[in-house]
């Protein structure tokens, strides 16, 4: 797919007698929306017969003038007549924008539960013999900016107070947290064992992708084990 194909298709819509700008906008987004998203473009809008607006999922850093393209902080306006002979310029100018990343700002893992280790398992773990029951979250930040995330733990038991913590995810990096290793300031475990919970992860500055994982084990040296992993759910 190329921007040349996109602009050629818009011309064909017009040649077919489709003159309503909203109709052309809807048809183009329906046809090319997934591909545009992969290019860092969230939406296409026909402004008039000769001008096309592209919303960018990023921020303008710096740029050099380009014929037929007007630069704005988070969108481009393209003159179709001026860009026809050099559609590759659209791809080139997108490099002047940062990326807000893939995914979403809010994620939820509805099913969380960490089993308490037996006395024997606690001893085996302390001796380094095995890999025992726990949960973890993995967060990917594909954007060009660092972000801070808030993890909120929502208990099913209304007698318990919900807990939370914050953590950083650098640009173009991932982080992995063993949830059983998270601690309060006093050194106690942040998340209670044998308590059904849900996890909500909110990113402040960039879109992220979140995955939740659970490993259940029993026996010395983790003799019996099952492992589950699930993508979190995002409301967007």
Residue 224 belongs to a domain with what CATH number? 2.60.290.11
pLDDT of residue 221: 56
Mean pLDDT for the stretch of residues 95-106: 93
Whether 113 is covered by a domain: the verdict is yes
How far is the CA of 220 from the CAs of 55, 119, 223, 225, in angstroms?
A: 56, 12, 6, 11
Distances (CA, A) of 46 to 12, 20, 128: 14, 10, 63
pLDDT at 129 (0 to 100) = 65
Q: Which of 96, 124, 153 is the last residue of a domain?
A: 96
Q: Let me know whether 91 and 124 are in one domain.
A: no
32 and 124 in a single domain? The answer is no
Residues 199 and 115 in one domain: yes
**pLDDT per residue as tens digits for the range 45-63:** 999 999 999 999 999 998 8
| Region 81-106 average pLDDT | 89
pLDDT at 219: 59
- Domain containing 32 equals 3-96
The pTM is what? 0.80
d(CA 79, CA 85): 12
Digit-coded pLDDT (tens) for 102-129: 999 999 999 888 888 778 777 777 777 6
Choose one of 34, 65, 96: the last residue of a domain: 96
How many domains are contained in the chain? 2
Residues 76 and 133 in one domain: no
Q: Clarify whether residues 113 and 215 are in a common domain.
A: yes
Those residues with Cβ within 8 angstroms of residue 60's Cβ, 6 or more apart along the chain or in another chain? 71, 72, 73, 74, 96, 97
Closest to 232 measured CA to CA, from 214, 205, 219 = 214
pLDDT band at 160 (very low <50, low <70, confident <90, very high): very high
pLDDT at 161 over 60: yes
In a domain, 190, yes or no: yes
**pLDDT at residue 1 greater than cutoff 90:** no
- Which residue among 70, 96, 122 closes a domain? 96
Is residue 89 located within the same domain as residue 126? no
Residue range 220-231: average pLDDT?
63
190 and 123 in a single domain? The answer is: yes
Domain identity same for 126 and 83: no
The answer on pLDDT for 228 being more than 80 is no
Residue 191 and residue 160 share a domain? yes
């Amino acid at each position: 797919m190329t921007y040349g194909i996109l602009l050629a298709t818009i011309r064909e819509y017009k040649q077919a007698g489709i003159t309503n700008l909203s109709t052309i906008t809807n048809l183009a987004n329906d046809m090319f929306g997934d591909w545009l998203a992969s290019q860092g473009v969230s939406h296409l809008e026909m402004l008039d017969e000769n001008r096309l607006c592209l919303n960018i999922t990023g921020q303008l850093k710096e740029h050099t003038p380009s014929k037929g393209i007007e630069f704005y902080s988070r969108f481009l306006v393209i003159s179709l007549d001026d860009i026809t002979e050099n559609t590759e310029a659209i791809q080139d100018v997108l490099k002047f924008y940062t990326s807000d990343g893939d995914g979403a700002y809010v994620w939820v893992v509805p099913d969380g539960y960490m089993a308490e280790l037996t006395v024997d398992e606690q001893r085996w773990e302390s001796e380094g013999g095995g890999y025992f029951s726990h949960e973890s979250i993995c967060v990917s930040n594909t954007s060009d900016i660092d972000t801070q995330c808030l993890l909120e733990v929502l208990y099913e038991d209304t007698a318990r107070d919900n807990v939370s913590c914050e953590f950083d995810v650098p640009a173009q990096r991932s982080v992995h947290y063993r949830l059983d290793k998270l601690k309060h300031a006093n050194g106690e475990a942040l998340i209670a064992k044998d308590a059904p919970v849900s996890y909500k992860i909110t990113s402040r500055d960039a879109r992220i992708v979140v995955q939740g994982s659970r490993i259940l084990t029993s026996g010395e040296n983790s003799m019996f084990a099952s492992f589950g992993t699930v993508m979190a759910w995002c409301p967007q």
